[in-house]
Chain A
Amino acid sequence: MITIENLCFSYTQNTPYLLKNLCLTIHKGDYISILGDNGSGKSTLIKLLLKLLTPTEGKIVDTFTNLAYLPQRFENLNSQFPITVYEVLDCYRKTLKLKDKDCIFKYLDLVKMRDFSNSLIGKLSGGQCQKIFIARALMGTPDLLILDEPSTGVDLKSQTEIYSLIKNINVSEKVTVISVEHNLKAAIDNSTLIYHLSQGSGHLCNPDDYINEYVSASTRSDRNASL
């Protein structure tokens, strides 16, 4: 379980805070999508959960023991980097001190990417690359999976496969999923809860309420604007 209590954060350590008095409890097995406009603090919240940043005020109590993170890959990946899919997974396996070498192929089979084990990671398409990083994230049998816009740069067919994979892990393995999303449809279809960030404040609701509160309102305002 993760409990966020009165969390405030500012990169300058002073007011105005980017995140203001956030309170949130995430239970085992939840699938929470974090939505909000650009600059609303979604990625900052993820970095706080990953302990890459320290809260300015308040605290985060995290009782999950095994965390895996799926970054927003394509922004940072150097397509010229000389590393094969097998080497990427093998590095992670050795970091986790897993003795069984064959587990690499087990996870490649899970994402249907065994045939690409000797391919250079930079030569893969967006969707293929994301599947490899999902396989890497699952190698440590995590109890918490944090995703940063998993569908960025991924074609529609691969998006469906990736979300079905994540949802399946969430349901069958009871892995808690926290995902920063720009993909509204994916968030509504897959999440059990949606956390909406706006002007530094957060609001938790279920997907149906989210459609009523935010999606309809914005659709209405769009319609009015066009008239």
Chain B
Amino acid sequence: MLHYSFMQNAFMISILISILCPLIGMFLVLKRYSMIGDTLSHASLAGVAVGLMCKVNPILSAFLLTSVFGVIIEFLRDHYKKYAELILVIVLSLSVGIAITIISAGAVHANVESFLFGSVLTVTREDFYTVLILSIVSLITIVGLYHQLVFITFDEEGAKIAGIKDKMINYIFSILVASTISVSIRIVGILVISSLIALPVATALQLNKGFKTTMLYSILFSFIDITLGIVISFWINAAPGGVTALISVFLLVFILLLKKLNFYEIIK
């Protein structure tokens, strides 16, 4: 299987995604903003449509447009604190509206479906390098801001009083979410990206560990989900997005069952 160059590209991108998605997902889930991931993944469809229409790299155009939408959400969230869900609905409508209008008007002469469901066949070397650069920059930013992000997520008011520039960091974080979504849409697809952001974290949270340990477990679970998703989708000839989403749900249910059966106590 790995002698195919498209599978090599897909696996290399998958490793990057399996690190990035849960890193971002940890903060999103604990801030209770999981739905922002879903909204921005739909916003990335508008970016893909614009990119394909203008014949520029769709991952890059998805990143740019998703970043803009992410910053808009953060800006409005600050002003309409009690209506956060409404802001997501507005951005979702706007972005899906742009995407459907461009696609249905016939302005896009490419396979949009591969971005919706994920595909390993269409991953090119150019995609790989774009994903690589975005991932490395995102990872360096997360590592650099790690403690501020943890502090803001745990105690936003305390962080502000301690002198952390919470607004600026929240804006940077929105761009990081956009970047993570953009690098993931090629493999897992727009429709299931939010499950990859939230589910490995939800699974790791069941283990009741500290922040860093939970994060490492969520990366492990994410890696299992994506790797198995790609391998199984290759053998059954299905889109990797759907299979990955199914595996991430099965893994969560499996861990919940182990927890229910007090498995950790038994193996101790």
Chain A residues in contact with chain B, CB under 8 A? 50, 52, 67, 69, 71, 76, 78, 80-84, 86-88, 90-92, 94-96, 118, 120
Contacts and interface: CB of A to CB of B under 8 A. Distances in A.
A120 B209 CA distance: 7
Interface residues of B, number: 23
Contact of A84 (B151, B157, B161, B210): B210
A94 B210 contact: no
Interface of B: 30, 147-148, 150-151, 154-155, 157-164, 205, 208-214
Contacts of B155: 71, 76
Nearest to B211: A83
Contacts of A80: 205
Given A71-B155, A82-B209, A120-B208, 13 more contacts: A52-B157, A81-B154, A82-B30, A82-B205, A83-B150, A83-B210, A83-B211, A84-B210, A90-B147, A91-B147, A95-B148, A95-B151, A95-B164
A79 to B, nearest CB: 11
B150 A82 contact: no
A91 B157 contact: no
A96 B148 CA distance: 11
A94 to B, nearest CB: 4
B75 to A, nearest CB: 20
B161 A52 contact: yes
A69 B154 contact: no
Contacts of A118: 210
Q: Which 3 pairs between the two chains have the least Cβ-Cβ distance?
A: A84-B210, A82-B214, A94-B147
Nearest to A82: B214
Contacts of B157: 52, 71
Contacts of B30: 78, 81-82
Contact of B211 (A69, A76, A84): A84
Nearest to A136: B158
A87 B213 CA distance: 11
B250 to A, nearest CB: 22
A71 B154 CA distance: 13
A61 B174 CA distance: 36
A167 to B, nearest CB: 23
8 contacts: A82-B210, A82-B211, A82-B213, A83-B150, A90-B147, A94-B147, A95-B151, A95-B162
A69 B147 CA distance: 19
A95 B211 contact: no
Contacts of B147: 90-91, 94-95
Contacts of B151: 91-92, 95
A87 B160 contact: no
Nearest to A50: B161
B150 A91 contact: yes
Nearest to B151: A91
B154 A91 contact: yes
Nearest to A92: B162
